[in-house]
Each structure stands twice: as C-alpha cells, then as structure tokens.
Structure 1
Amino acid sequence: MAQENKARKAHVLIVPYPAQGHINPMFQFGKRLVAKGVKVTLVTTVFLSKSSTFSDPTSSFDIQAISDGFDEGGYDQAGSADAYVRTFWSVGSKSLESLIKKLADSGHPVDALVYDGFLPWALDLAKQFGMLSAVFFTQLCAVNSVYYHVNRGLLQLPLPGTNVSLPGLPLLEVSELPSYVALYGSYPTWFDVLVNQFSNVDGADWVFFNIFYELEKEVVDWMSKFWKVMTVGPTLPSMYLDKRLENDEDYGINLFKPKTGICMSWLSGKPKGSVVYVSFGSMAEVDVEQMREVAWGLKGSNYYFLWVVRESEEAKLPKDFIEETWEKGLVVSWCPQLEVLSHESIGCFLTHCGLNSVIEALCLGVPMVTMPQWSDQSTNAKHVEDVWGFGVRARPDDEKGFVRREIVDHCIRELMEGEKGIEAKKNAIKWKNMAKEAIDEGGSSDKNIDQFVIELSNQVFQF
C-alpha cells in the first residue's frame, strides 16, 4: 500500500467562493503547489465554467465544476444575496460531496481540501471523508480578527464607543472597521457569512492568509497562538514577483473581457509617472453622485487618467464627460490591471481598496489614493495610509458621505507632485521589495508553502 501511495502525487482540492477576487488568489496558490509537485484540482461553479475563461500553462492543473443551484445565471439568477447563500450552501455541499466521490472512483482521491473561509461547510466534508483541511482567507488578518472577535462574543454589537482596540492591530475608529460591523444590520446576509467563517475554524488543520508575514506580523503572531497559521501571499502571477513559474503571466481566469490592446497602446504614449489609474473593482456599485464627483475631480486635476467603468456603471458617468476629457482620459469597461499597474506611465492608483487591488499595487510599487466603498475596504485603507504609508485616503464629507471633487483633485495632486507623494512612493518601493522577498525561494511565504507540502506528503504517504 505504501508503494502504491508513493507512486502518485498528493492531491489537493481548492474550493474558492465563486467571485473573481476569491478565485484569483486561490488559483495562484494552487499554481505554487503544482510547481512543488502536488496535484491540484480547482473547483468552480457550473455557471462560471460556462461563462468565464480559464487558462493555465501547467498541464496538471485540473478544473472541475459543482452546482451552486443557479447553473444558468449564478449570483444574478438568485435575485438576492440571501437566496444565493441559502441555496449555494445547501446545493453546493451536496454537489461537492458528489465530486469528491467521483474523483475517488476515477483513481484520483483527494488528500486535502483547501476551502474559502466563506464556505465553512466544506470543512464538514473534509472531516466526513477523512481529508486534511486548510481554510483560506482572502481578507487582511486585521479584518479577520474583527470578525473572529464578533463571532466569539468578544466584540459586542452595536459598538458602544468610537474606537476599537484589538490585539496586534492599530487603534481603529468605528468608521475604519469592516462596514458590516461598523454599520451593524446594514447587510445581514453578508454579515452572517463573514462572521460564520469562524464558526468551525478551530477544526481546520491549517489556516492560510493571502498576505506575507511582514505585512501584518503582530496580528499573525497573535493568531498563531491558537491556530496553525501560514501566510502564503502575495498570490500574484510569478512574472510580477520571483519569475520562478514559467509562463505564469496572468491569473488564468477572466470573468470580464479586458480591453488589453486599447489600454496598453494608450498608456505607451504617455510620459513616465503621468497617468492616474482609476478602478473600483468588479463588485462595488458607486452612487451616481459619487461617480460625478470622481469624474470632475479627475478632470480638475488635469492629469492623464485611465478609468475602468464596468458596463453596468457607464450610465452613471456625467453627460458628455468622455467627449469633454478625450485629450486627457480613456474610459474602458475592463482592463488587464496587473499590466496597467506595472506600466511606467502609471503615477498613482485611485481605488476602492479591495485587498487584491491593494496587494497588486503594493507588489508593483504604485502609491494609492483610497476611496473605500464597503466591506473590508475601510480597514484596508487605514493600513495603506497609516500602517504601510504608501497612500492617502480620500475622505468623504460629513453631510452625505461622498468624497467631493475637490478632495479627489487634492489627493491626486498630493501623490503625483506633493511631499506626501514622495514618501508614499518611497514606501511603495520598500513594500514591493519585501513582497518579492517573501515569495522568493527561502522567503517567509515560500517556506510556509514548502512546510505545507512536506506535512501534507508526510501524512498522506506515511508507512
């Protein structure tokens, strides 16, 4: 039996929540495992497998689909967050169970399950089938610490004060907490999903975080007291970091079709450090009035700008804005963000501050103007400005909660030409070098991935 085991590779099933910001980092982590001799299967949903483009240069990376209950339209078909979560949590569990059995029957039994923190029910399946388990968190440790404290009753809601002090974290104003906690009751379904990530986390064999140790070492050290924590990031394609994974030039999944040629051609005609790149990600829905303020703030700054506005958001742009700014700006529905951020013409990044965008900018040495919208983004923005020092926050007014055009203009100028911009650029380069060192051979994240592979192999192939 031991000889038969030795003849095959350890097999890891990776199960992300079906959204681009969750799939990308877990997919990249899987590529690292493949490069270290592990067989990996990525699980997506039936709808995404039909509607998205998946590509990977490694021949041993398999992709399988399970049902979320909405095979023809995914999340949009559900009609509400509550309907989607209830159905996916029920149907997805049964569908994943069937997949695990199918893989075993076909001679590819699963040895370990790496599952998204959003999907705690996956741990129950790992236990049921006697597999090793690792929960993968796609948000900052700081953010996860907040949700952990809420889950364990250590942070009472609604919050009684104006500040929150937690182990290993900077002092946080209520407005700097994740929106589901700061605005308690505002998004009950997603609040439950995020807090319930910690309902059974103590039963996982490993706890993975999509950061590198040096980025949040105080809170990582605190969490390591009660879980087997491993920081495994940054999870960017290898060509942007250590270049050890051949042909690893992009994430390998696109839920939106990027306007690659248009963007890169336009950027190539602009001077070094002269362009403001603007994107609010794949999910944030910006208010019409806020969209208008950003637009006129960009125009007022008089810098070149490349602005990603999803097709579903285009109608919110001010009338004639594109025509009036054609000499300075380019508006596209989607772009290859990594290629854009690594282009020498980019001077700063105006962003909603989703963690993937933050990590990408950090790894590529691009200073940020942060304009958080919801979820974990306010906590991320706090870290970008006050902890890591490579950006500025564009703060909303007190009356309506919108960031006004004058603030947008001011923040852009601060980073592009002011004293704060010089310091932010210096810190951005520092963190860029530290990120690369973390994933380089022998770096903190690379050591953790090696350790996981060794422990996995030892337990799977023990005599």
Structure 2
Amino acid sequence: MAEKEGNTHVVLFPLPGQGHIVSMLKLAQLLSTAGFHITFVHTERNYRRFLLTSSASHFHVPKFRFRTVPDGFPDDDTRSPLPFLELQESLDTKCRGHYRELLLAAVDEEWPPVTCVVADEVLPLSVEVPDELGIPVMILAPHSACSILTSYSIPELIRGGELPIPEAANMDELLQGVLGLEGIVRRRDMSIRAAKSIEDPFLRFELKMSKNLPRGRALILNTTESIDSLSLRHVRSICPTTYTLGPFHVLLRNIKDESHSASLSEEDRSCIAWLDSKPDKSVVYVSFGSLATMPREAFLEFQQGLLDSGYYFLWVIRPDMVEGGLEESELTASERRCFVKWAPQEEVLAHAAVGCFLTHSGWNSTLESIFAGVPMICWPFFADQLINSRFASEVWKIALDMKDLCGRGHVERMVKEVMSGEIGEELRKSSCEMADMVKKSAEEGGSSYTNFKELVAHIQSLSLPAERGGNVGEGMSVPAQGKSTFLMCST
C-alpha cells in the first residue's frame, strides 16, 4: 500500500478566485495526508499574492508543490470580477497551452506521472486538457448540492417556460422544474434571474457548466450527507460516484490536527483581541466575501442599521468593496464597531463573543458558520449564494434571508431578531443541532470521514496499469489544442 501511495500524483487546478482556491487547497491538503504527491496549480498573480501573506511562510506540507500558469492579463490589471467573458477568453487562450505543458512535464526524478487531475467544475480547461491527454479527471464542485441541482435543472426550466423569467413576474413565485426541489426554489433564488433571453451569457454559462458534472470519474463535494440529504439523491442520479467530504477544514483537522490558511489576503488578527473584550453572543460578524461590491448608499444603510441595532459589530471591509471607495468620514465613529480589511474567519466564528453572522452566503462561509453553530442573516449577491441563502432560511432553519433588501430598518430588525427573542432562540437551537451533525460527519466513522477513505482508494486504483492504460509521455499522442467558450469567474 505504501508503494502505491508513493506513486500516486494528483494535480489540482481551481478557478482562480478566493472561494474556489480555499476549497481546492483544503482538499489538496486532505489528499496529501494519504501520502500522495500533490501539485497545486495557481495563476502567477494569485501565487504572488499568496506568497505575500504570513500563511505562506507556515505552509509546509510533505510531497506538496505549487506550479503556476498565466491568466493572460497585464500585471497592473485589476482583474475585476466582471466581465466574466473577457476573463474566460484570456484564460482559455493564454493559459491552456501552459497547463498542457505543466501536465506533460509533471514527471521528474522525485515525482511520478500524474495519476489524476481534480478539476474545478466551473473551469472548463482544467477538465478538458487532462481529458485530451488521457489523464483521469475527477470534478470538484465547490458549492452546495442544492446549487448543483438548480443549475442542472435550467434546461428543464427553459423547456417548461419558467426561464427566462418574464418581465414584471412575481419573483416570489415557486419554480416547478427544479429537480427534487419543487416547492422550495423561487424565481428570486435563481442565479440567472436577470436573464432576459436564452442567449444571455450568464444563462449560457450555467448551461455549459452543468455539462461538466458527468465528465469526471467522480464528483467531490464540500458538504455532508446530513446538510444536503434533500439534494444528494438527485445529484447521484446525475453523478453516481459522488463523494461528500465536508466540511473540508473540519475533516482536515480531525485527520491531521492542522489546517493551513488558503487566504490570498493578509488576515488582521487584531480583531480577535477586540472580540476577547466583548461579552458572549454580543457581536454581529459582518463579511460579504472576497468579490462582492456594493453601492455607497447600501454600505451607509447597513452601517446605520447595525448601529441602530445597539449591538457590537465586527465588519470586514475590503478596500474594493464599496463602489467608488469610502472616505474616512463615512465610517461612523463608535466604540461598538471594529473594521478590518480581512479576518481569520474560522477563528472569528468560533469565538464566544459572536452571536450572529451577516453574510453573502458563499458556500465556504456558510459551512464555516454551520460548523460554528452561529445563526446567519443572508444578503447574497450572485451565483450559488442566492440558493444557499434560501436553503439556510427555509430548509435548514438556521438563518433569515434578507435577499434584495438593505434598508437600515430591515438591517436593524433582522439583527435584533437573530440576536435576541424567540426567532433568535429557534435559529440558535437549529444551528447547534446542525453543527453537532456536521461534527459527527467529520469524525472517524462519520460519513465524510468514510467517504474520504473511499476516495483515497479510488484514486490509488487509478495508478494501476489496467485502469490507466499507460501514462502521459509514454507513447501517448497529444491531441491538438482545443477551444472553449465557457465563462469564467474572477481572479
């Protein structure tokens, strides 16, 4: 067994955005605990950003290496999250050949041939290139199972006339064509709700992205059987070999008792000392992730609503979060607030002083809040965040969904409801119950722990000659470079 582990080499290539990198890097660290050789592919810019963080100096994992590919943009380009199509085109034309060369040159005196690639579902070239080279591919979908189903159901929604959404339609009307989720998903909860025709680029992206799911030898999800039980049966009808290993960061700690940070931004730990000075369950933690931006007016409404609630709040405010930037005078002085550019989120959510998480409902943030047993107020921006917030409020009963609202009165009311009163007690009880289920999933004998062992065995089996039928570079022809028109997310 040790020899097989030593000859196993896994390449992982995430979409070059913070949320996807976090999920993929945690999975990479998990796979390294099996004794595998791990090659993690960063874009050149993101790797430089990673090296500037203190996390990089503490990242020491055996048989683990980073390799880089260009994203095709000038170094001084801001790589704004929009427009997606231009970024996709740049990655597809400027990165594809470099990625191919990386896979072909992956072998040296100390590193065996590539056993398989773990590809990001929403990064087409990470799937297509190894497939062309005859390298087995597994797919990581770094979002919730309910999000996967809503995307996969788009063709049926189009056939049924439910998409695109008509002008002046009731956005709270339930959709009937979402596989397994009838009676839950509203028009308002769809990531492509703004699409006016089937030629809308975001709608086309969702259609193409879902086609990647069945292409891999297996589908890997950062979730648990307990969280996504409603959706997983239907996901497995699409991808029979599906491994739920979540939450990755919890499973990693249970297996190796450590979890290296994957952040591309330096974490400001001064906020921990600030939290230490506050009573239990007295602080609202606010973070809208690494990509989302908001108008200045929305920021000011959130700030005033938080102040009017009377609770302490810790708010992550990235320099690029508010459109047009913020003046120092617009940050209201108050002993009840703490602003940081980036926070050690897992540690913050685990802190006794935190009583509520005002979040964008990104999947990593949602999982971290679930594990910590912290109820949420959800204000999603785009993509899977819209369906995550719906499930958090209506299915899991661990959050209030404030989707599409940001007036100071709404903010004040929802903060008070979650931090105190009957609604808050019910949400906290449900959050603690779900946290307990998630913790058990990641313990030895739990579903995530068991599924991880099965995934390791599956990957090891791909090293066998009968399964692979030869290794790259050993008499295999290399097809001509292809062309993809998938849409990409931000770096």
Q: Counterparts of 1:374-393 in structure 2 under 5 Å? A: 374-393=382-401
Given candidates 20, 29, 32, the residue that maps to 1:31 is 29
Matches of 2:300 and 2:23, distance apart in 1: 32
Q: Which has the higher contact order (CA 8 A, sep 6+)?
A: 2
Q: Which runs of 5+ in 2 are unaligned?
A: 467-491
| Deviations, residues 50-78 of structure 1 (Å, cap 9, x unaligned) | 22234533222211111221262566289
2:379 counterpart residue number: 371
| Deviations, residues 154-190 of structure 1 (Å, cap 9, x unaligned) | 5653136732132322521100122x24544699544
2:13 counterpart residue number: 15
Q: Which runs of 5+ in 1 are unaligned?
A: 397-401
Moved more, 312-321 or 156-165: 312-321
Q: Does 2:206 correspond to 1:194?
A: yes
1:120–1:196 CA contact under 8 A, matched in 2 = no
Q: Counterparts of 1:126-137 in structure 2 under 5 Å? A: 126-137=130-141
Q: Does 2:86 correspond to 1:83?
A: yes
| Deviations, residues 80-101 of structure 1 (Å, cap 9, x unaligned) | 4222111102222211110011
1:230 counterpart residue number: 243
**Structure 2-normalised TM-score?**
0.85
1:203 counterpart residue number: 215
SS at match of 1:215: coil
Matches of 2:148 and 2:450, distance apart in 1: 23
2:486 counterpart residue number: none
Q: Does 2:41 correspond to 1:43?
A: yes
Classify 1:24/1:78 alpha carbon distance in 2 versus 1 (closer, same or farther; 3 Å).
closer
1:310–1:333 CA contact under 8 A, matched in 2 = yes
Matches of 2:146 and 2:175, distance apart in 1: 12
2:185 counterpart residue number: 172
Given candidates 99, 120, 129, the residue that maps to 1:96 is 99
Offset of 1:345 from its aligned partner?
A: 0.5
Q: Does 2:248 correspond to 1:244?
A: no
1:46–1:71 CA contact under 8 A, matched in 2 = no
Classify 1:321/1:299 alpha carbon distance in 2 versus 1 (closer, same or farther; 3 Å).
farther
Q: Does 2:132 correspond to 1:159?
A: no
Matches of 1:143 and 1:436, distance apart in 2: 22
Q: Does 2:266 correspond to 1:257?
A: yes
Letter in 1 for 2:209: Q
SS at match of 2:248: coil
1:116 counterpart residue number: 120
Q: Counterparts of 1:451-462 in structure 2 under 5 Å? A: 451-461=454-464
Letter in 2 for 1:306: L
Matches of 2:5 and 2:407, distance apart in 1: 63
Matches of 1:65 and 1:189, distance apart in 2: 28
Matches of 1:386 and 1:435, distance apart in 2: 19
1:47–1:70 CA contact under 8 A, matched in 2 = no
Offset of 1:344 from its aligned partner?
A: 0.6
- CA RMSD, Structure 1 to Structure 2 (Å): 2.6
2:414 counterpart residue number: 411
Matches of 1:434 and 1:344, distance apart in 2: 20
Letter in 2 for 1:158: P
Q: Counterparts of 1:283-432 in structure 2 under 5 Å? A: 283-313=291-321, 320-325=329-334, 327-396=335-404, 402-432=405-435
Given candidates 134, 147, 153, the residue that maps to 1:149 is 153
Q: Does 2:283 correspond to 1:275?
A: yes
SS at match of 2:137: strand
Matches of 2:201 and 2:288, distance apart in 1: 22
Letter in 1 for 2:21: I
SS at match of 2:380: coil
Classify 1:405/1:418 alpha carbon distance in 2 versus 1 (closer, same or farther; 3 Å).
same
Matches of 1:435 and 1:97, distance apart in 2: 38
Identity %: 26
SS at match of 2:105: helix
Classify 1:204/1:71 alpha carbon distance in 2 versus 1 (closer, same or farther; 3 Å).
farther
Q: Does 2:63 correspond to 1:60?
A: yes
Letter in 1 for 2:134: G
SS at match of 1:115: strand
1:45–1:71 CA contact under 8 A, matched in 2 = no
1:12–1:40 CA contact under 8 A, matched in 2 = yes
Letter in 1 for 2:24: M
Letter in 2 for 1:111: T
Offset of 1:300 from its aligned partner?
A: 0.3
2:81–2:291 CA contact under 8 A, matched in 1 = no
2:480 counterpart residue number: none
SS at match of 1:65: strand
1:111–1:132 CA contact under 8 A, matched in 2 = yes
Q: Does 2:224 correspond to 1:212?
A: yes
Letter in 2 for 1:451: E
Moved more, 446-455 or 307-316: 307-316
Letter in 2 for 1:409: E
Matches of 1:85 and 1:73, distance apart in 2: 18
Matches of 2:301 and 2:234, distance apart in 1: 41
Offset of 1:320 from its aligned partner?
A: 3.5
SS at match of 1:349: strand
Matches of 2:139 and 2:118, distance apart in 1: 6
Offset of 1:30 from its aligned partner?
A: 1.3
Matches of 1:201 and 1:212, distance apart in 2: 18
SS at match of 2:415: helix
Matches of 1:263 and 1:437, distance apart in 2: 30
